[in-house]
């Protein structure tokens, strides 16, 4: 669906069903340079099993208009405005990678909007190599290639895609190449307070971590889980792009936490 | 590295899409010879039907063995996804029918395979889909042919059998400006010699019966989605951007973005038309894919040697091969095919049509049959076989003359191929002398 957020046309996937704000809402936030399609294999399940789903494209990404936001803090506030525009009082919030940093900032700045927090393939800080940022400033496509090589685990480089006949690395590359990847990476690089924010939150939380994650290693994810005082699960054999690489396992974990609060 | 994998092409050909399966550790890709797949529960079955999860339902739509081949070919071509079909022609038809409806218009190169030309001239026309044929490298002609209802531009990267190499960068510049996808049949090229998506194509099709399978064992086709066409911005493709009623109003572009086309083909055309590739055929073709790179080197090497040798034979009146300067698209071939422009060559012999017939009837090693891309050398007279349904004018436009002999150079020892062709040339000479 499309809605106006801060006077900009904003797109949000609703999992193939019309959004109904009366239902319990699950908000999905994508990672750097990506869009709502990261969550294609999770959103439809929730939408068809009694939830309302919102998976927005952040401003300036894919189907959303507007100027890309330059900091994680701004993204958190924008998400609050987005939920308000959609008529949602509070949502279960799920974020992948940078998306979970945004979720933390949403929870810090407007805690009443957040019922539960689930992070997927994430950590309290996501350091970004300056060479990668420089590459992204020059060409999003070039940086996407570097990022995805590290982002996907061994099974995705060699093995069968979760959707028959698809080549997920190419899909990610196409999406990232046309999005403001450099702005997102700079925002990630500048954000260092995730663990501090997490330690002050009193919101039920859970992390789903990837055993072969080379961008947000399991060790960093576990440290964040400790600060959040929540649980975590490690899905072995997969890389950072968990929602795409291991969609079933990822969905199972999301369902566990969200359904336990409804 | 292709645009969709970090592995090198020869490694992709052997590994992509399959890790030894967990139950038995089979190193080779297993043949999943099954029609259907048991659902874990009613809910799990429902989720699969509703695209909430990936997985297999029925082998008309997907099959694990076929899926390995699809993913491997997508990776080789640098695409976002692929769909394999029962033949190359079904790959072409399902792409046309997914993108075009009655009242729409297609632009095609004049130099294309005879059955594709017939499909466009007659079958598609009967469905209300019109086609304009243009010399595809004529920039002005292509621009002039574009109409408000044009849905795609179609060409072969190397035209069959005229051997005109399509200037894909120039064509894609024009189609891109017009918001029309460029569909390239790259059968004669294979991803080993030229990845059309890298040069601007949006969709790539192959008859994988040919070099990709490579051994003349099994029929098959593939559609590879380049993922590089913005169906929304084009404004011409409600099929992909508007709600699709049979799937709860799904909007393919919104949901799947760079893989929207391939998802639509699978959801609609594979369901409705059912031109599925059998798992056994997929397995056979996978064996060919594994050695594609090395076979293509040998195919091209033999083709080049044969061209050079034929040029020196006094019974040969002309030779056509894209690497020859006499080929009108020679400069384009040099640019797009640095390793050589495939292994199809055409030539004429003394004695005209009768001489050509005598040549084909006299060779012993080469097989006279309606196929290309076999590991064995093949010869054919297109004017009386593959392109016989074309009018004399259309035949001329397709680059076919009455005396044309088409050769698909195999990977036998070149000495034996030349010796065999000597038999044919002697027979042609006898005909010429008697005329």
pLDDT digits (tens, 9 = 90+) for B293-303: 999 999 999 99
Identify the domain boundary among B288, B320, B355. Answer: B288
Cis amide leading into B50 (omega within 30): no
Which is nearest to A93 in space by CA: A69, A72, A119, A124?
A119
| CB atoms inside a 10 Å sphere around CB B325 | 8
Residues listed for chain A: 262
Which is nearest to B269 in space by CA: B286, B247, B294?
B247
Do B283 and B344 reside in the same domain of the chain?
no
- Edge-to-edge order in the sheet of strand A205-210: A2-5, A8-13, A52-56, A25-29, A91-96, A114-120, A205-210, A231-235
Mean pLDDT estimate for chain A? 95
The residues, any chain, with a CB within 8 Å of residue B331's CB and separated by 6 or more, are none
Interface of B with A in 47-86 (CB under 8 A): 47, 50-56, 62-64, 66-68, 70-71, 74-75, 78-84
Using pLDDT thresholds of 50, 70 and 90, give the confidence band for residue A257: confident
Contact B262 A166 (CB under 8 A): yes
Using pLDDT thresholds of 50, 70 and 90, give the confidence band for residue B1: very low
| CB atoms inside a 10 Å sphere around CB B277 | 27
Do B186 and B327 reside in the same domain of the chain?
no
Do B235 and B328 reside in the same domain of the chain?
no
Do B266 and B356 reside in the same domain of the chain?
no
The residues, any chain, with a CB within 8 Å of residue B416's CB and separated by 6 or more, are B365
Q: What is the CATH number of domain A2-126+191-260?
A: 3.40.50.1820
Contact B183, B95 (CB under 8 A): yes
Do B82 and B202 reside in the same domain of the chain?
yes
Instruction: Give domain status of residue B171, yes or no.
Output: yes
Q: How far apart are CA B129 and CA B104, in angstroms?
A: 5
Number of structural domains, chain B?
A: 2
Q: How far apart are CA A33 and CA A156, in angstroms?
A: 19
Contact A45 B52 (CB under 8 A): yes
Contact B64 A159 (CB under 8 A): no
Contact B282, B217 (CB under 8 A): no
CATH number at residue B350: 3.90.1150.10
**Beta bridge partner(s), residue A234:** A209
Instruction: Give domain status of residue B3, yes or no.
Output: no
| CB atoms inside a 10 Å sphere around CB A22 | 7
Do B197 and B335 reside in the same domain of the chain?
no
* pLDDT recorded at residue B3: 63
Q: What angle do CA B65, A151, B27 make, to 5 degrees?
A: 30
* pLDDT recorded at residue B4: 66
Do B43 and B174 reside in the same domain of the chain?
yes
The string of pLDDT tens digits covering residues B117-150 is 999 999 999 999 999 999 999 999 999 999 999 9
Contact B257 A37 (CB under 8 A): yes
Do B118 and B222 reside in the same domain of the chain?
yes
Using pLDDT thresholds of 50, 70 and 90, give the confidence band for residue B312: very high
Taking CB atoms and an 8 Å cutoff, what residues of chain A touch B241?
A: none
Tokens of B66: 């076929």
Residue with tokens 């999406």: A175
Say whether pLDDT at B325 is over 70.
yes
The string of pLDDT tens digits covering residues B301-310 is 999 999 999 9
User: B314: which DSSP letter?
Assistant: T
Tokens of A257: 């936490």
Q: How far apart are CA B332 and CA B165, in angstroms?
A: 7
Provide the ipTM.
0.94
Contact B404, B356 (CB under 8 A): yes
Q: Closest Cα of chain B to A187: distance in Å?
A: 25
Range of the domain at B245: 9-288
Instruction: Give domain status of residue B1, yes or no.
Output: no
Do B183 and B323 reside in the same domain of the chain?
no
Report how far apart, in Å, the C-alpha atoms of B283 and of each of A51, B26, B220 are: 42, 14, 11
Contact B266 A162 (CB under 8 A): no
Burial (0-12, 13-18, 19+ Cβ within 10 Å), B291: middle
Taking CB atoms and an 8 Å cutoff, what residues of chain A touch B68?
A: 160
Identify the domain boundary among B288, B320, B341. Answer: B288
Contact B6 A157 (CB under 8 A): yes
Q: What is the mean pLDDT of residues B366-372?
A: 95
Contact A160 B18 (CB under 8 A): yes
Tokens of B367: 């097989």
User: In this structure, what are the phi and psi dihedrals at residue B225, rounded to the nearest 5 degrees?
Assistant: -90, 120
* pLDDT recorded at residue A158: 87
- The residue of chain A nearest to residue B222, with distances taken between CA atoms, is A165
The string of pLDDT tens digits covering residues A185-239 is 999 999 999 999 999 999 999 999 999 999 999 999 999 999 999 999 999 999 9
- Kindly state whether B254 is in contact with chain A, defined as any CB-CB distance less than 8 angstroms: yes
Cis amide leading into B161 (omega within 30): yes
Tokens of A55: 């998976």
* pLDDT recorded at residue B233: 96
DSSP H or E segment with residue A40:
helix A40-47
Identify the domain boundary among B288, B323, B339. Answer: B288
Do B121 and B263 reside in the same domain of the chain?
yes
CATH number at residue B13: 3.40.640.10
The string of pLDDT tens digits covering residues B27-44 is 999 999 999 999 999 999
Contact B432, B315 (CB under 8 A): yes
Q: Provide the 3-class DSSP secondary structure of residue A94.
A: strand
Say whether pLDDT at B369 is over 70.
yes
Interface of B with A in 30-49 (CB under 8 A): 47
Instruction: Give domain status of residue B4, yes or no.
Output: no
Q: What is the mean pLDDT of residues A18-37?
A: 97
The residues, any chain, with a CB within 8 Å of residue A243's CB and separated by 6 or more, are A38, A39, A41, A42, A96, A120, A121, A250
């Amino acid at each position: 669906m499309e809605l106006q957020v801060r006077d900009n046309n904003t797109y949000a996937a609703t999992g193939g069903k019309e959004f109904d704000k009366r239902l319990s809402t699950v908000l999905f936030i994508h990672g750097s340079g990506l869009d709502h399609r990261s969550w294609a294999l999770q959103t439809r399940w929730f939408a068809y099993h009694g939830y309302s789903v919102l998976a927005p494209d952040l401003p300036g990404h894919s189907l959303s208009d507007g100027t890309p936001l330059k900091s994680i803090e701004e993204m958190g506030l924008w998400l609050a405005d987005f939920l308000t525009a959609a008529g949602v009082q509070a949502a279960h919030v799920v974020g992948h990678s940078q998306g979970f940093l945004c979720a933390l900032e949403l929870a810090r700045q407007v805690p009443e909007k957040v019922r539960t927090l689930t992070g997927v393939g994430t950590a309290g800080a996501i350091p970004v190599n300056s060479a990668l940022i420089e590459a992204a400033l020059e060409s999003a496509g070039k940086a996407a290639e570097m990022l995805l090589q590290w982002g996907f685990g061994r099974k995705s480089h060699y093995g069968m895609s979760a959707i028959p006949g698809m080549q997920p690395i190419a899909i990610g590359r196409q999406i990232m190449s046309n999005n403001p990847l450099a702005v997102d990476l700079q925002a990630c690089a500048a954000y260092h307070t995730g663990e501090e924010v997490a330690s002050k939150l009193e919101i039920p939380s859970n992390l789903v971590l990837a055993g072969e994650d080379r961008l947000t290693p399991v060790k960093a994810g576990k440290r964040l889980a400790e600060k959040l005082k929540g649980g975590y699960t490690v899905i072995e054999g997969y890389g950072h792009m968990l929602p795409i690489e291991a969609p079933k396992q990822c969905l199972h974990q999301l369902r566990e936490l969200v359904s336990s609060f409804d | 590295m292709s645009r969709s994998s970090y592995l090198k092409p020869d490694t992709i050909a052997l590994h992509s899409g399959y890790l030894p399966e967990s139950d038995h550790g089979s190193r080779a890709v297993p043949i999943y010879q099954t029609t259907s797949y048991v659902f874990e529960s009613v809910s799990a079955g429902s989720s699969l039907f509703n695209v909430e999860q990936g997985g297999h339902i029925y082998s008309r739509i997907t099959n694990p063995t076929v899926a390995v081949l699809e993913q491997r070919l997508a990776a080789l071509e640098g695409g976002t996804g692929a769909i394999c079909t029962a033949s190359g022609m079904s790959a072409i038809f399902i792409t046309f029918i997914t993108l075009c409806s009655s009242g729409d218009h297609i632009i095609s190169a004049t130099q294309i395979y005879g059955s594709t030309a017939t499909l466009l001239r007659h079958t598609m026309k009967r469905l209300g889909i019109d086609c304009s044929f243009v010399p595809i490298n004529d920039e002005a002609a292509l621009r002039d042919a574009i109409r408000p209802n044009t849905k795609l531009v179609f060409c072969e990267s190397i035209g069959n059998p005229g051997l005109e190499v399509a200037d894909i960068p120039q064509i894609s510049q024009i189609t891109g400006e017009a918001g029309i996808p460029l569909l390239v049949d790259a059968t004669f090229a294979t991803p080993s010699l030229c990845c059309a998506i890298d040069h601007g194509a949006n969709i790539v099709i192959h008859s994988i019966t040919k070099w990709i399978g490579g051994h003349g064992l099994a029929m098959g086709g593939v559609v590879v989605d380049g993922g590089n066409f913005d169906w929304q911005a084009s404004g011409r493709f409600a099929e992909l951007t508007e709600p699709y009623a049979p799937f709860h109003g799904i909007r393919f572009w919104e949901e799947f973005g760079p893989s929207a086309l391939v998802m639509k083909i699978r959801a609609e055309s594979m369901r409705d038309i059912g031109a599925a590739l059998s798992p056994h055929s997929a397995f056979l073709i996978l064996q060919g894919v594994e050695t594609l790179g090395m076979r293509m080197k040998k195919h091209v090497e033999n083709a080049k040697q044969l061209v050079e040798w034929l040029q020196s034979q006094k019974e040969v009146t002309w030779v056509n091969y894209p690497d020859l300067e006499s080929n009108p698209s020679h400069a384009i071939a040099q640019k797009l095919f640095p390793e050589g422009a495939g292994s199809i060559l055409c030539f004429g012999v003394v004695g005209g049509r009768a001489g050509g017939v005598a040549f084909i009837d006299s060779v012993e090693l080469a097989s006279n049959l309606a196929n290309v891309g076999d590991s064995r050398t093949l010869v054919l007279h297109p004017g009386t076989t593959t392109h016989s349904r074309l009018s004399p004018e259309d035949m001329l436009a397709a680059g076919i003359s009455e005396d044309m002999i088409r050769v698909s150079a195999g990977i036998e020892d070149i000495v034996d191929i030349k010796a065999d062709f000597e038999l044919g040339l002697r027979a042609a000479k006898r005909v010429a002398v008697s005329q």
